[in-house]
Chain A
Amino acid sequence: MIDSPILETRSLGKRFSIGTRFSADGKRTVHAVDNVSLTVRRGETIGLVGESGCGKSTLARCLVRLYDISDGELLFEGEDITSKSLSELRPLRRRLQMVFQDPSASLNPRRRVGDLVAEPLRIHGKLSSREITARVAELFELVGLLPDHAIRYPHEFSGGQRQRVGIARAIALNPDLVVLDEPVSALDVSVQAQIVNLLADLQEKLNLTYIFIAHDLSVVRQVSTRIAVMYLGSIIEEGPAEDVFATSAHPYSQALISAVPVVETMPSGTRKRIILTGDVPSPLKPPSGCRFHPRCPIAVERCRTERPELREYRPGRKVACHFPTV
């Protein structure tokens, strides 16, 4: 059922002020997320990719209102929730959940995992304690944990099992949308695939919508229906996952994807690699014009002065570049 938008942003922006008037550089503003318009449809998975510091985690946190939004609008099922107060947001929290990278940091080490999974049910639900116990058992089964695991403490689990607990907590209240911020990055390679499969199964069973963030591009491609590539706070390319990987239009996406090391049985050199020079510029002093131009292999004068808009050049494919590969 991929059609109606569940979440929508219109020119969303998030600014942080850093420093004080007493700092050497005075008070400054970082545009961590800048002018992002994104539509998330029910049942799909949007993968957010980009280098560290590109604003993907900040954007994800804005989407579930863990951060207040500085500019633009955020709509949930068509309703404007940009400036809802905390108490107004409370009923929504149940429907917007989040899974974090490090499961050991997000689980209280002093509480049994059964308790940890029951916590959201106690806070939000109106269930009796017997119903809660039954629901916890059901959730354990859903995420592939054994019923007798409930009386154990988080440290008794492996990383993969802890992430299963984190996922059980996130889905406890039957959410509509789950933001997954690097959910498999801290896990061993042999365990990553298990969690990726679990997430796919749960999405199908519970009709979940995912926002998926990971720096491992092959994992993002596997999980996502659509991908948004971010650079310095803005989306620079968007489209169906396989298409963006196969025929990226933006020179930055091309460089990013070509940099992923892949297992090749053939002698190396069959794949063309674009190596970017320099680092991601500081979002405190973003470059003029197209923000990618100082590192772009095909930049011309126009890129220095005129900032390209994210535009749809083909149904479903968007790019922000004056000279996209189309």
Chain B
Amino acid sequence: MILSVRDLKVSFRTNDGLVRAIDGVSFDLDESEILGVVGESGSGKTVSLLAVMGLITDPNASIEGSIRYKGRELVGLPARELRRLRGNEIAMIFQDPMTALTPVYTIGWQIAEQIRAHQNISKAKAIVRVEELLAEVNFPNPHEAMSRYPHQLSGGMRQRAVIAMALSCNPALLVADEPTTALDVTVQAGILDLVRKLRATHKSAVVFITHDMGVVSELADRVMVMYAGRVVERGSRTDLFSDPRHPYTRALLGSIPPLTGEKPRRLPAIPGSPPSLLRLPQGCAFGPRCPVHYEHCVTDKPELGIGTHAAACFRVARA
């Protein structure tokens, strides 16, 4: 087990009240496993991973629960210790590669800096390693790319450079937050291939956050669907997509227009919009938008329960 998160709760104090960004999230991750986390904006998918990375430094934030990395508790670990893990053992890729790159240094310089920050090797050796890494992430001309500045590269190339940087220390855990959302589908296909290759060659475990069900179904081994700060369904890719149980998962899958076959005249849309985290309903957060709900959906919060394929829904529990 690489990562084990138990009952993670993250909330932020704001002028308008307490924002419960994550309300009791638990999951496990094995070596060389890809976990897909799907959800809309405000579902808590990014915040939960920022918590894992120890990147929530807001003084108004409170983090409860347990995050164990290779058996070691990360919640409450001093910043210095966390820094040793981050970049070295745990790496992260963000949606916008420009946020991870400085515009004033070359790609080669930035990746070499990262290597030398975590490993005790000479500059010359680091540079050789950079070239290998760039070749590994399919830069057509790695030697030349090293002397390029970020603005001279296309979006896809920049994201590859960031991935090369994330891989430079052979991380055991790679966290990718919507890494392909800003990219064209043609470029996205290449990046997804790359993530698959890394899992195979480096045995890295990957947490892949996205809002795109298609991406998850092509990449992930296991899937976790989040809504309003809670996990509403989890299961293996095959289970979740062949037998989606939570009404939200079903509705999301149903609202994607088909790419082949006959076009539906109207798309089955989900009414309403995601709830505000400041004013979550007392019962099930999806209740107000749910096509089927019982009286106690309004008063009680459904629990996810145990098992490899589970959904936090009273209706599923009854069936």
Q: Give the interface of A toward B (CB within 8 A).
A: 51-52, 158-161, 188-194, 196-197, 200, 215, 217-219, 221-222, 241-242, 245-246, 255-257, 259-265, 267-268, 273, 275-280
B187 contacts across to A, CB distance below 8 A: 51, 279
Q: How many A-B contacts if CB must be within 8 Å?
A: 128
- Whether B253 sits at the interface, judged by CB under 8 Å, is yes
Stretch touching chain A among B83-91, B92-100, B166-174, B264-272: B264-272
A241 contacts across to B, CB distance below 8 A: 263
For this complex, 16 residue pairs linking A to B, each with C-beta atoms less than 8 Å apart, are A52-B155, A158-B274, A188-B274, A189-B256, A193-B267, A215-B184, A217-B185, A218-B257, A218-B259, A242-B263, A257-B259, A263-B213, A264-B218, A265-B242, A267-B238, A279-B187
- Whether B299 sits at the interface, judged by CB under 8 Å, is no
Cross-chain contact A278 with B256 (CB below 8 angstroms): no
Chain B: minimal CB distance from A257 (Å) = 7
Give the docked Cα–Cα distance between A159 and B211 (Å).
16
- Whether B241 sits at the interface, judged by CB under 8 Å, is yes
Cross-chain contact B241 with A245 (CB below 8 angstroms): no
A194 contacts across to B, CB distance below 8 A: 269-271
Cross-chain contact B40 with A188 (CB below 8 angstroms): yes
A190 contacts across to B, CB distance below 8 A: 40, 248, 251-252, 255, 269-270, 273-274, 289
Chain B, interface residues (CB within 8 Å), range: 35 or more
Name which residue of chain B comes closest to A201, CB basis.
B266
* Contact residues of B between 201 and 215, Cβ < 8 Å to A: 211-215
B184 contacts across to A, CB distance below 8 A: 51-52, 215
A215 contacts across to B, CB distance below 8 A: 184-185
Q: Give the interface of B toward A (CB within 8 A).
A: 40-41, 140, 154-157, 184-190, 192-193, 211-215, 217-218, 238, 241-242, 248, 251-253, 255-260, 263-271, 273-274, 289
Cross-chain contact B189 with A273 (CB below 8 angstroms): yes
Cross-chain contact A261 with B217 (CB below 8 angstroms): yes
Given known pairs A217-B259, A221-B257, the reply for A265 and B266 (CB within 8 Å) is no
Which listed residue (B192, B193, B213, B273) contacts A160, Cβ 8 A?
B273
Give the docked Cα–Cα distance between A245 and B262 (Å).
11
B255 contacts across to A, CB distance below 8 A: 189-190, 192-193
Give the docked Cα–Cα distance between A246 and B259 (Å).
9
A189 contacts across to B, CB distance below 8 A: 40, 211-213, 252, 255-256
Across chains A and B, which 8 residue pairs bring their CB atoms closest together, nearest first?
Answer: A261-B214, A222-B257, A193-B269, A193-B255, A193-B267, A188-B40, A259-B189, A158-B273
Cross-chain contact A246 with B260 (CB below 8 angstroms): yes
Cross-chain contact A263 with B214 (CB below 8 angstroms): yes
A221 contacts across to B, CB distance below 8 A: 257-259, 263
Given known pairs A189-B252, A191-B273, A222-B257, the reply for A255 and B186 (CB within 8 Å) is yes
Residue among B242, B259, B270 with most chain A CB within 10 A: B259
Chain B: minimal CB distance from A255 (Å) = 6
B215 contacts across to A, CB distance below 8 A: 261
Cross-chain contact A276 with B186 (CB below 8 angstroms): yes
A196 contacts across to B, CB distance below 8 A: 257, 267, 269
Cross-chain contact A188 with B41 (CB below 8 angstroms): yes
Give the docked Cα–Cα distance between A276 and B268 (Å).
33
Give the docked Cα–Cα distance between A259 and B186 (Å).
5
Cross-chain contact B185 with A260 (CB below 8 angstroms): yes
Cross-chain contact B218 with A193 (CB below 8 angstroms): no
Residue among A215, A279, A280 with most chain B CB within 10 A: A279
